[in-house]
Homo-oligomer: A and B are copies of this chain.
Amino acid sequence: MKALLVISHGSRRDESNMEVQRLTDTVRPLVSERFGIVEAAFLELASPLIPDGISLCVSQGAKEILILPYFLAAGRHVAEDIPEIVAASQKRHPDVSMTIAPHLGGSELMAEFLAGSACLPQE
């Protein structure tokens, strides 16, 4: 069973965290052929934190977890914090394959997405 774990920063503002949870709920059926499990987790300030999100996937039977950093730029959180946290979880779940995908903002199509009508109000 494959899992997709969407990692975002987390906010003191509940609405912000709920926004990411809603996004994850919307993504779930879109990727159901590839991922039997789709969950969200947070780097800080909100639950579940990344190790708990990983455990949540494992408890549902995940043998492979793709971790998607839902971040726009590869700052220290993406470059250092997330890999360190995932590496620590990997040690606790040595039989589960964990891969960190490129961060969302690294997509070659981001500029096009930003420029598109979805993001910029039309005249």
What is the interface size of chain A, counting residues whose CB is below 8 A from a CB of the partner? 50
Structural contact, B11 and A75, CB atoms closer than 8 A: yes
Shortest CB-to-CB span from A41 to chain B, Å, is 14
Interface membership of A91, Cβ < 8 A: no
CB pair A120–B4 under 8 Å, yes or no, is yes
A27 part of interface (Cβ distance < 8 Å): yes
* A118 and B111 contacting across the interface, CB-CB below 8 Å: no
Contact of A75 among B13, B74, B79 (CB under 8 A): B13
B12 and A76 within 8 A (CB)? yes
Inter-chain contacts of A102 with B (CB < 8 A): 119
- A23 interface hit (Cβ, 8 Å): yes
